[in-house]
């Protein structure tokens, strides 16, 4: 984004999994619009590279090594993040993993099922519960507002064969989003979920490497291209901004029209 669509000066955003892909695309756009950024990621080298990029916008940015599937790590890094920035206005729960190439639902092992849900679902639960304590406390002190944004997937609303564990984790996020939007509206806190389509990231590199699949998928995208991380910058800036204060409880598809075609 060469010109910020919203002025986010004074806002602080936490982006889990923010050191690459869609997470970094959102973080970069919000930084360009003036927001301070905290990113959580498990790879220290990628964290450092992302922070260097974000600080290039002249904003405060810091990275914290955190595995969101570990409750103790989440609580510790939430405390560290609040200690560094003093507040969190928007929490973008983007950290996630894909399924590991099962050829059938019958081949998904209990360990693999737990691995996917521990990050994609439990990780959001841990993160949201920690950040909501802060947001509610702040609201009760007279500083209302807060943004919860979960990274779901079109797999949550379509038949994702051979990825039932991934689809289940994302479908649960949708339901959690609806419930949070209702429960925490009284505090001025909104909750929404983003559903990406086919996006060119590290997570989809195997699919992109399959030329036949990549071409066939591309033909189904009305925009006639796979998405890119920067395509999520606009929605991130909007959801963090005051302009989205009355927008809650929705699933927002960012897919180049794929779902409707």
Segment-wise mean pLDDT, segments of 10 residues, the chain, 261 residues: 72 98 97 98 98 98 98 98 98 93 88 97 98 98 97 94 95 98 98 92 64 70 87 97 97 91 81
- Residues contacting 169, CB < 8 A, separation 6+: 96, 116, 117, 120, 121
Residue 152's nearest CA partner among 132, 127, 171 is 171
Residue 210: per-residue pLDDT: 64
**Distance (Å, whole) CA 191 – CA 183:** 10
**Rounded to two decimals, what is the model's pTM?**
0.93
**DSSP-derived secondary structure for the chain:** --S-SS--TT-EEEEETTTSHHHHHHHHHHHHTT-EEEEEES-HHHHHHHHHHHHTTTS-EEEEE--TT-HHHHHHHHHHHHHHHS--SEEEE---------SSGGG--HHHHHHHHHHHTHHHHHHHHHHHHHHHHHHHTT---EEEEEE--GGGTS--TT-HHHHHHHHHHHHHHHHHHHHTGGGTEEEEEEEE-SB-SGGGHHHHHSHHHHHHHHHT-TTSS-B-GGGGHHHHHHHHSGGGTT--S-EEEESTTGGG-
Select the CATH number that applies to the domain covering 12-260 from these four: 3.40.50.300, 3.40.50.720, 3.40.50.1580, 3.20.20.70.
3.40.50.720
Residue 219: per-residue pLDDT: 73
Token code pair at residue 82: 């609040």
Residue 6: per-residue pLDDT: 82
Token code pair at residue 170: 């994302």
**Distance (Å, whole) CA 70 – CA 66:** 8
Is-catalytic flag, 166? Answer: yes
Residue 1: per-residue pLDDT: 43
Residue 215: per-residue pLDDT: 73
Catalytic residue among 125, 128, 166, 246: 166
């Amino acid at each position: 984004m060469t010109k910020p669509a919203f002025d986010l000066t004074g806002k602080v955003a936490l982006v889990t999994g923010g050191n690459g892909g869609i997470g970094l695309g959102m973080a970069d756009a919000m930084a360009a619009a003036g927001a301070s950024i905290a990113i959580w990621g498990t790879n220290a080298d990628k964290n450092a590279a992302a922070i260097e990029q974000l600080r290039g916008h002249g904003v405060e940015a810091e990275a914290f090594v955190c595995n969101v599937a570990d409750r103790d790590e989440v609580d510790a890094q939430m405390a560290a993040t609040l200690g560094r920035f003093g507040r969190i206005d928007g929490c973008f729960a983007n950290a996630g993993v894909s399924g590991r190439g099962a050829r059938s639902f019958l081949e998904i092992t209990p360990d693999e099922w737990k691995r996917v849900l521990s990050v994609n679902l439990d990780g959001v639960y841990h993160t949201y519960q920690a950040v909501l304590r802060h947001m509610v406390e702040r609201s009760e002190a007279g500083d209302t507002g807060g943004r919860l944004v979960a990274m779901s997937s079109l797999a949550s609303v379509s038949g994702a064969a051979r990825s039932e564990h991934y689809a289940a984790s994302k479908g649960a996020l949708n339901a959690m989003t609806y419930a949070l939007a209702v429960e925490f509206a009284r505090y001025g806190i909104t909750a929404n979920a983003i559903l990406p389509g086919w996006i060119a990231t590290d997570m989809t590199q195997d699919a992109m490497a399959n030329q036949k699949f990549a071409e066939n998928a591309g033909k189904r995208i009305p925009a006639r291209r796979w998405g890119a991380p920067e395509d999520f910058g606009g929605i991130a800036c909007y959801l963090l901004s005051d302009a989205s204060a009355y927008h809650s409880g929705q699933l927002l598809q960012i897919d180049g029209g794929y779902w409707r075609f």
